[in-house]
Amino acid sequence: MKEYGTGSCSSRILAGTTSLHTKLESKLAKFKGVEDALVFSTGFMTMAGTVSGIMGKGDVILSDEFNHASIVDGCRLSGADVRIYKHNDMGSLEEHLAGRPASANKLIVTDGVFSMRGTVANLPRIVDLAQKHNAVLMVDDAHGTGVLGKTGRGTPEHFGLDGRIDIVCGTFSKSLGTIGGFAGSSKEIISYLRLNSRPFLFTAAPPPSVVATVIACLEVIEEEPELLVKLHDNTRIVKEGLSDAGFSLEDTVTPIIPVLIGDDRITFKVAAALEDEGIMVNPVVAPAVPPGNSLIRISVMASFSTDQLVEAIRKIKLVGQRMGIV
């Protein structure tokens, strides 16, 4: 803060870009294996600004029905023809793709890891379909970055698809511990976004202290791989513990663990009862999930000790029994 000040006090293209912003963009491009990257002030603005920055009237967007609200709003902002395909349903995606004129600009957009249920997009098949139908592919890897793949580079690395995704995006508000977001792609697309994405252009740049935090956090991911191992070990302990206790869990490989409940009132009651026991979980209801599909979202961290996890599982089981869920 002494060197750069407390805030940017300007948009990125006026006086808001410091050497830290450009350093972070180069670091992110390298981390994600893309030519260039662009840093936005929030993850929401990244997705909304990337989709609406490259797509417009007359173009076609194919969007998963469970994509994050930032993508949904980006689609609306773009004015493009938006087709929603069924969640992770490749038949539905192909049907929508096949019905569009070959000459139309097409964008397929999907979360890498879906934020509420922790499911992972079927990227291998989506990459094939994008190639077959000459569509651009954008992945919002908010929850995959720093979490999936051998080195935490995200959902594409998890599937061995590094370099096969046209636009990879993410946020700094999950594994990177602060606020902001990024889009990574070819130099051509990033240059285009830099001058055409209104949520990038017309807002203040992220403060230098935030940017420096992200640089430091990326270094942690690169230099402390044991954290990633611990994260997945911890996830396994919680999943096995809850399954053994009789909870109905979705089959996922991510540290987002959804406990499906269905009823909104019971969901809020369970979250409140757990808070009383010192366990913080998220009650998730519509519109974050379809009505009638409410759930408790448990997020596992690498910093939890095994003792803490065993105690948490014991308390979750207790509350589950008291509420009649297990």
- Which residues are the active-site residues? 115, 143, 174
Question: Which parts of 224-325 fold into alpha helices (H)?
Answer: 226-244, 264-276, 306-322
Binding span for ligand PLP by CB under 6 A among 139-147, 215-223, 250-258, 296-304: 139-147
Does residue 109 bind ligand PLP (CB under 6 A)? no
Torsional class of 180: left (φ above 0), alpha (ψ -120 to 50), beta (otherwise):
left
Contact (Cβ atoms closer than 8 angstroms) between residue 163 and residue 30: no
Does residue 64 bind ligand PLP (CB under 6 A)? no
Number of residues that bind ligand PLP (CB under 6 A): 14
Does residue 252 bind ligand PLP (CB under 6 A)? no
With respect to ligand PLP, which residue has the nearer C-beta, 93 or 113?
113
Binding span for ligand PLP by CB under 6 A among 43-51, 147-155, 247-255, 261-269: 43-51
Instruction: Identify the residue whose tokens are 């994008």.
Output: 130
With respect to ligand PLP, which residue has the nearer C-beta, 77 or 323?
77
Residue 86: Cβ-neighbour burial (10 angstroms; 0-12, 13-18, 19+): middle
Residue 192: Cβ-neighbour burial (10 angstroms; 0-12, 13-18, 19+): middle
Does residue 173 bind ligand PLP (CB under 6 A)? yes
In whole angstroms, give the CA distance from residue 230 to residue 227.
Answer: 5
Query: Within 13 Å and on the Cβ side, how many CA atoms surround 143?
Result: 23
Does residue 115 bind ligand PLP (CB under 6 A)? yes
With respect to ligand PLP, which residue has the nearer C-beta, 140 or 166?
140
Provide the binding-site residues for ligand PLP, judged by CB under 6 A: 42-44, 47, 68, 70, 111, 115, 140, 142-143, 171, 173, 181
